[in-house]
Amino acid sequence: MHDIVVMLLRYARGTWRFRWWMLGIAWVVSVVGWSIVAKMPDEYDSSARVYVDSSSVLRPLLKGIAIDMGDSEQRIFLMTRSLLSRPNLEKVMRMTDLDLQATTDAEKDQIVADLRKGIRFSGTSRENLYTISYTAESAEVAKLVVKSLLTIFMESNLGEARKDQDSAAQFLEQQKGEYERRMRELENELTRFEQRNLDFHPDGSAGYYNRIREGKQQIEAAKLELTVLEERLQTLTRQVEGELPSFGLGPVPEQEIVAGTGDIDMRIQAMQLRLDELRVKYTDRHPDIVQTRQSLAELNAQRARIVEEARQNAAAGGSSANSLDQNPVYQQMRLSMATLEADVAAKRRLLSEYESQVAGLEGSVDKVLALEAERRDLQGEYEIVKKNHEILEIRLESAKLGRKADSTSDNVRFRVVDPPRAPSSPSGPKRVLLSSLVLFGGVLVGFGVAFLMSQFRPTFDERQILSDALRLPVLGSVNMVWTSDQVRARKVRNISFVLTLSALLLAFGIVIALHQFN
């Protein structure tokens, strides 16, 4: 610790030898610095405070009904972050007529840079209380800049919200129209598909599978009817083409007379079966049952007339030797046999037609399966487009409702707490502080120069320093004997130094007073 104190004292004595250099440099730096501070232009600071209220009464009421076009807190956050963007600063430059001062793009860029440097925007998202301030050389310019920023900040919310809503609604309407067009195209394609493949479509007219099933049922019915007709034809053939027909050779038996009514008996039996089926479904007063009864009565009457005519003919010609071909009963049986043969041939042709149709349908099963897959694809695509179209309709209505809600009541409201005003007195620069820093800097620079000079031009004012430098022992020292003139000159120098330093402090005081009282 003692060595450090000794070393500091040595440095102090060495620096003191160049105290006039230190004082001169302090004077020069101070005068130059004070002149610069005095010439600095005045600065006027204008500010405004605005409160942003993001609470809305309609938002909880319309939750789930109308589309929320954006979180208000997020929107405020984006506004605060984008307030000092270049487009906004250029708008401020035009609103305050600062662009009239620039003739080139470089000057405009400099004005925008100065605006960004001088504007201060602060606030907290918790209280939503924001402060906008700007410092300029003119009080009116500072006020106009803050007012312009406040206007942009308040209008950006409404403009951006409306722009987002319009863009969203336009997009939804465009997509809705696109899906409507696709729905019409798919509907037309499905209609054309149904028309092209109506015979093979499972859900078409009668349907492919229903047609196969009905065709097989028709084949079974035709086979049954053909079997019945063939049996009747065989029976009638045996009666007509027997070994020894007995028609007209004696009394006609009752069985032969009745045999001539085989066809009408079949019709009566079929009509009776139909009547029984209708009675199961309907009452006796049903029109179908009444009509069937009338038809059955007519057939019975017709059968009775045929039987009566056969009996009369048999009685009239029983003892005669009329020709067999002129026998009415025989002729009736031959006519019935020809009719049965024609019916059997027609039924066989119909059965063959049914079988060929069913075979053709069964041979097209691969085509039907491919058509079913194609139809499922078309139907699935149509259902997806239809579902998306319905969703877009719901979203579009929600967007319209949300836009109406935003137009009737603002989700974000602004309240100007402190409006901007033109300051009456400059807020800067802090000339008193700057002048003090200039004086302190001048003294510090002077001390540094004096210290460096003492190191470049050292002296030996102690025996220990000389011994350390020469590495030789110092045997003794002789004290300086000051004459009266030297003492007087030393006092004059000290008094001059004190007076010069006092003059520097006095000048500093005058500068401070001038700045203090403007």
Rg of the chain over all Cα atoms, to the nearest angstrom = 62
pLDDT tens per residue, the chain (518 residues)?
777 876 777 778 778 888 889 889 999 999 999 899 888 887 888 888 888 776 654 455 445 554 554 455 556 666 667 778 888 888 888 888 888 888 888 888 888 888 888 888 887 656 678 888 888 888 888 888 888 888 887 776 555 555 556 677 777 788 888 888 888 888 888 888 777 776 665 554 446 677 778 878 888 888 888 888 888 878 877 776 654 344 444 454 555 555 556 677 777 887 788 777 777 777 777 777 778 788 888 888 888 888 777 777 766 654 443 445 556 666 777 777 778 787 888 888 888 888 888 787 777 777 777 777 887 888 888 888 888 888 888 877 777 766 665 554 455 677 787 888 877 777 777 888 888 999 999 999 988 888 888 888 877 767 777 677 777 787 777 777 778 888 888 888 889 889 998 999 999 999 888 888 76
Three-state SS string across 131-150, please? EEEEEECCHHHHHHHHHHHH
Q: Are strands 119-124 and 413-418 parallel, antiparallel or unpaired?
A: unpaired
Estimate the crossing angle of helix 484-516 against helix 431-456, to 10 degrees.
150
Looking at residue 78, its amino acid is L
Give 382's contacts (C-beta < 8 A, 6+ positions apart): 183, 186, 187, 190
Closest CA to 322 of 372, 241, 424, 247: 247
Q: Are strands 119-124 and 129-136 parallel, antiparallel or unpaired?
A: antiparallel
Give the largest Cα separation in the chain, rounded.
208
Report the half-sphere exposure of 276 (CA within 13 A, side-chain side): 6
Structure-block tokens of residue 308: 């009566």
Looking at residue 197, its amino acid is N
What confidence score (pLDDT) does residue 66 get? 47
Estimate the crossing angle of helix 208-240 against helix 328-363, to 10 degrees.
160
Looking at residue 191, its amino acid is T
CA atoms of 345 and 353, how far apart (whole Å): 12
Is this model's pTM higher than 0.85 or not?
no
